[in-house]
Amino acid sequence: MNYKDWIRKAIIRLSFTKNAKQEAEILLEYITGHNQAYIFAFSENELTGFELEKLEFLLQRREKGEPIAYIIGECEFWSMPIYVTPATIIPRPDTECLVEQALLRLPKQKHRLLDLGTGTGVIALAIASESKKSFVVGVDINYEAVSLARQNQYRLNIFNVYFMQSDWFNSLLIQQFDIIVSNPPYIEEDNIHLYKGDLRFEPLSALVAKNNGLSNIEYIIKISKQYLKNQGWLILEHGWKQGLEVCNLFKMYGYINIKTCIDYSNRDRVSLAQLYI
């Protein structure tokens, strides 16, 4: 079977997805080691028996709903190739909105930024890649996530970042940051979407929070006051229906200049506020 015929058959089997053709091409690129342009130009190339066997195994995994990112072990974020594993959630494009808001508020002089619950490290690495004046600390309670973030750091050769294991702030010495960012767990425990699509395969500990998804967000808003410099910013990703509640939490804990920003689907996704001491 050649490349073209395999893609045609794979598209039929992946018709339950929104991007069947793209996913088929990704799997073919992964197994053959050739990019999309090569596969298009040499679509009549025959697949070996070994390649067909491996492709069949990957197709079966995808048919069971396993995310493509976990199957091939990577995804793209901020135009960077990122390793992913089932120990972390898969970075979403909308999280780039959080990066954008942080970049808009970076001081002109050298500064320090904290990324809470760093996971794969993508937020920390994206910010550090754009600003050589930034020194970013990324923390996560999961040692596997910290190890993965370090692998991504070495892969991308970004060294103005330090990743460490910590349950939120607990392993940090009291120190001051110009900006704190976080994409914390914010899905409510009884949300039916946890049992659908990609979420079925992602770690619940990185997705779910008590108090209708707001417990971690409130904790971060409260404790960040001890770690932010005067006029420092706290920037949080949250669910698209949580913007008002997050803003109210900012107000309750004495922050000012509170704002909610929309994502690429025009939904509330990131809220931010400034601390004046």
**Binding region:** 117-121, 140, 168, 183-186
Report which secondary-structure segment, H or E, holds 244: helix 243-252
Token pair of 57, please?
């195994």
Closest of 55, 50, 54, 49 to residue 7, by C-alpha: 55
Rounded Cα distance between 33 and 38, Å, is 10
Angle at 109 between CA 106 and CA 111, to 5 degrees: 60
DSSP assignment of 3-58 equals HHHHHHHHHHHTTTSS-HHHHHHHHHHHHH---HHHHHHTTTPBPPHHHHHHHHHH
Rounded Cα distance between 187 and 209, Å, is 6
Q: Annotated binding site for substrate: which residue ranges?
A: 183-186
Closest of 29, 40, 125 to residue 80, by C-alpha: 125
Phi then psi for residue 224, to 5 deg, are -60, -25
Q: Annotated binding site for S-adenosyl-L-methionine: which residue ranges?
A: 117-121, 140, 168, 183
Rounded Cα distance between 269 and 175, Å, is 28
Q: Strands, DSSP E only, in 126-206?
A: 134-140, 161-165, 177-182
Please report where in the chains the tokens 């809470």 appear, as a residue: 116
Which residues, including other chains, have CB under 8 Å from residue 69's CB and lie 6 or more apart?
75, 84, 90
Residue 216 and residue 239 in contact, taking contact as beta carbons nearer than 8 Å: no
